[in-house]
Amino acid sequence: MGPVGTYNFIAEPFRCDWLDRLTMSSLGNEMINAADFQSAERDFGYRDIRKVNRAWVLSRFVIEMNEMPSSHDHYSISTWVISAMKFFTHRNWSVQSPEGKIYGYGTSVWAMIDLTTRQPADILSVNDGGIMQYVDKDNVVPITGPSRVRMDEKGAELISEIPVTYSDIDTNGHVNSVRYIEHVTDLFPLSWYEQNMLYRIEVAYVAESHFGDRLRFYQDKQSDNVYCFKISSVSPEGEEREACRIKCMFRC
């Protein structure tokens, strides 16, 4: 088995927006699913490492698209690990049509945690470093890598606050990584999307949010087409801490 896993999808009409384009959060969800399939087939998936009390944690996630699949379009997602070190792995994706047209790319950084201590775990200690045999180190993607999402923290404006709900929580027991993307895309009015395509999204994950928390969205508009958000979670006891930052880049 080679390092690259490729999975076929359909842009299901009810995962597309009213402009008939797959939404960024639906695509992000399928990219994470593809990562899960690819790693499971190579014995380092979520369920494999859960057996040794470990979990994958997404640290940075970037998606950059030339174009989005339209409803009913068949497309595939390829994904592979481009590097694996003690505490981090890098994973890339490409999204393409059956004819080979590239819709876009993704790149990401993942850590592994011990499920008891919630502390970083040594990735290479799992399965005798088996992940190393699937590293495709030269298979780079032509997009800029992740950043920490710099923003004006003081100037950022609190623009929304919502409770964490049942649908936000995934099988890991915390707010699903992609759900933050969905919530951020929901901060823009429909009319905005008529004129502006969200072509790049960059997420820096900081800490988990849980059921019972409330999510606060702070916006820093950096230019007409670049918006950064700090999302913090407020615990039932009122303690607020940063959950993640998201940078949205649009083009007309």
- Footprint of a second copy (CB under 8 A): 12-18, 20, 23, 25, 29-30, 32-33, 36, 40, 46-47, 71-72, 162, 165-167, 169-173, 176, 178, 182, 185-186, 188-190, 193, 211
Q: Which is nearer to a second copy, 36 or 114 (CB)?
A: 36
Number of H helices and number of E strands within the chain? Answer: 4, 10
Q: Is the dihedral of CA 79, 18, 245, 210 positive or negative?
A: negative
If the CB atoms of residues 131 and 198 are measured against a second copy, the closer one turns out to be 198
**Least distance (Å) between residue 159 CB and a second copy:** 12
| Residues 222 and 245 sit within 8 Å (Cβ to Cβ) | no
Nearest residue (CB) to a second copy, 142 versus 189:
189
CB of 107 to a second copy, least distance (A): 19
Nearest to 144 by CA among 105, 110, 177: 105
Least Cβ distance, residue 238 to a second copy (angstroms): 19
Nearer to a second copy, 12 or 240 (CB): 12
Task: Pull the structure tokens for residue 11.
Answer: 């842009």
For the CB of residue 177, give the shortest distance to a second copy in the complex, in Å.
8
Q: Two tokens at 160?
A: 């929304």
Rg (CA), the chain: 18
CB of 142 to a second copy, least distance (A): 27
Q: Rounded to an integer, what distance in angstroms lies between the CA atom of residue 53 and that of residue 55?
A: 7
